[in-house]
Amino acid sequence: MEYNNRLKFLLEKYLSEQISSKEYTEFVQLVEGLEQQQLYDLYDEIKTTDPFFEETEVDYDHEGVLESIYGEITSLDKTKASSTSLFHWPLVSAVAAILMFFIGKELFVVPAKVDHISQVTTVDSSISLLDSSGVMLRLADGHVVDVKQNGQSLSYVKNGYHIGLTADGGIRYAAGSRNAPPDHQRNDLNIFSTERGAMSNIVLEDGTRVWLNSASSLKFPRTFSGEPTRTVEVVGEAYFEVAHNPKQPFVVVSDYSRVTVLGTKFNVKAYPDQSDIQTTLLQGAIRINSAKSSSLLIPGEQAVIKKSGKINLSMVNVDDFIAWKSGLIHFNNLTIEEIIIELSRWYDIRGIANISDNHERYTGSLNKNKKITEILTQLEKISNIHFKVKERRIIIGD
């Protein structure tokens, strides 16, 4: 009885979007031991309704969600589920409608079966721009430097680190290895990161400058001194202006790609929710390596690296792919749903429900400082899509 009560409690919190990351891990472990019908019976006892679809013409298919919960959770690796407090649901079929919501800072996806709705319009302007001050530098010695983008002074001199602000509010980093404590070796990593809605930049000890887009991170060693390469790791999107040093190549590692340069300017887009990694070269030369292929890029060229290891090259307008540094959101050959996902890096969008049959792709740029209703109105004009905004969630309809 206690087991069932606990599971019902967690299932109710899951469906009402109130579950914490720790509770979610427990919920996964409990569901793994259930038969599918047992989960259905528990749901029937709860009789939960979802407030997102109250007073709308959308019918939320809880049974579809339950099927997804059972089917996806029972296929998970139990060790992974117990070793991490947050993880991603596998993406459902592109033909299914999707409801997305945030728990903590991670994006979860569950399918929502909904019927056609007509004349959906933007009726709510409650979605605001996210806080732009979420920038942090976590040092290899364990200290955390909180960087506020308000022009305040920053000076951190400790354990051999020398950190301050640049004129434009970025970070200037240096760390002499001689003063480092003996328990912090040369290969320890610092992490420079931005939260959703924030951008910042850092000047590394070799003079290389790196701009981070929203919800991105850069890992780099305490010092490059004595290493054969200057190797860093990127998650999200970053623009690099690499200081020239032919004796020590600069290497950028992301999930399934590796970029090697001597000195150049290029952009890497490698968000975890992307189906590929894009590297765009502005100046100089870089070599792209994947598990199966290698390519040398020339200025104006973009490499799209697939998870399979395949690399596709094309000439592009490079300005489009660094427009984010100037406050623009550029989208290239994206569906409306994919555009809204891009917007969610800057706006406090809590979920997306796509019930549109429009699968066309669009290219263009949007000003991220506009109100969300203005942007959605622009998108309505270039497509046959209509939007409705409710409780910081966006419904995409025909």
Which has more confidence, 104 or 35?
A: 35
The region, left, alpha or beta by phi > 0 then psi within -120 to 50, assigned to residue 333 is left
* Buried residues in 36-45 as b, exposed as e (16+ CB within 10 A): eeebeebbee
- Using pLDDT thresholds of 50, 70 and 90, give the confidence band for residue 153: low
Is residue 61 within 8 Å of residue 114, measured between CB atoms? yes
Average pLDDT over residues 283-307: 93
- Using pLDDT thresholds of 50, 70 and 90, give the confidence band for residue 332: confident
CATH tag for 228-326 (out of 3.90.1300.10, 3.50.50.100, 2.60.120.1440, 2.40.100.10)? 2.60.120.1440
Which has more confidence, 243 or 127?
A: 243
Q: Across 38-42, 104-108, 317-321, 329-333, which has the greatest mean pLDDT?
A: 317-321
Quickly tell me which residue has 């622009």 as its tokens: 378
- Using pLDDT thresholds of 50, 70 and 90, give the confidence band for residue 224: very high
Domain with CATH 2.60.120.1440 in the chain: 228-326
Q: What are phi and psi of 60, to 5 degrees?
A: -80, 120
CA distance between the termini of the chain: 47
Structure tokens at 396: 């995409």
Lowest model confidence (mean pLDDT) among 24-28, 284-288, 321-325, 332-336 = 24-28
Is residue 189 within 8 Å of residue 140, measured between CB atoms? yes
pLDDT, position 104 = 29
pLDDT, position 128 = 86
131 DSSP assignment: P
Which has more confidence, 266 or 376?
A: 266
pTM: predicted TM-score of the whole model, two decimal places: 0.67
Does residue 109 surpass a pLDDT of 60? Answer: no
Does residue 295 surpass a pLDDT of 60? Answer: yes
Helix, strand, coil shares, percent, the chain, to 5: 20, 35, 45
Tens of pLDDT, residue by residue over 121-141, are 444 457 888 888 888 899 988
Is residue 228 within 8 Å of residue 180, measured between CB atoms? no
Structure tokens at 144: 């955390």
**Residues whose CB falls within 8 Å of the CB of residue 117, separated by 6 or more in sequence, listed in order:** 56, 57, 58, 355, 388, 395, 397
Tens of pLDDT, residue by residue over 11-40, are 776 665 566 666 767 777 777 666 666 766
Per the document, the length of the chain is 398
Does residue 316 surpass a pLDDT of 60? Answer: yes
Lowest model confidence (mean pLDDT) among 48-52, 83-87, 141-145 = 83-87
